[in-house]
Structure formats: C-alpha cells, structure tokens
Amino acid sequence: MKFLSEYRDQKAAEQLAVAIRKKVTRPWTIMEICGGQTHTIVKSGLEDLLPKEITLVHGPGCPVCVTPIELIDKAVAIAKRPDAIFC
C-alpha cells in the first residue's frame, strides 16, 4: 500500500518524540477524539514514546463512529422534508 511504510518509520517516530520532549515545559493533557486515533496510539505504542508530562485522554469518539445508524436515518428523513431546514 502506498505510503504505509512512511507511517511506520520507527526512526522518524523517535526523532519526533525527542522534538516533543524538548518542547514540553509543563504538563499537557491531549484528547484524541476519534476511536481510530486511539486504536493507532495504543496499537503502535505511541503513548510510551511521549514524555511523562503528556497525558492522553481517550475521547468520546467522532460523531461518524459513535452515532447510531438509526439516528442518522432520522436526521436524513427530517432533512428531506420540504418544510425543514436541517443544520
């Protein structure tokens, strides 16, 4: 797959971790929103590369991933109504 190896470059990840450590001067709390991000962070061990001052909070999930299909179907039905403006 094109670009797959670029995203699995251990040397690049380690270099970025060093650069991040140099920037951290106080505690940081970072929330990732998407479950895909959480999965990648956990699976690849990225959390272990970060300095102890950085706390990752696993967020609620992006709306696309966590919204039940029934709710999306209801929203589409409302949006199709000629007397409705759906935002």
For residue 17, what is the domain's CATH number? Answer: 3.40.50.11750
Number of neighbours of residue 55 by Cβ within 10 angstroms: 12
Task: Select from 82, 23, 30, 36 the least CA-distant residue to 55.
Answer: 30
1 pLDDT higher than 60: no
Is position 85 within any domain?
no
pLDDT tens string 23-69: 999 999 998 888 888 888 888 888 999 999 999 998 887 777 778 88
- Where residue 3 falls among pLDDT bands split at 50, 70, 90? low
Cβ atoms of residues 56 and 32 within 8 Å: yes
* Six token digits for residue 58: 């696993």
Number of folded domains in the chain? Answer: 1
Is position 53 within any domain?
yes
User: Which helix (H) or strand (E) covers residue 79, if one does?
Assistant: helix 69-80
Task: Select from 63, 67, 4 the least CA-distant residue to 33.
Answer: 63
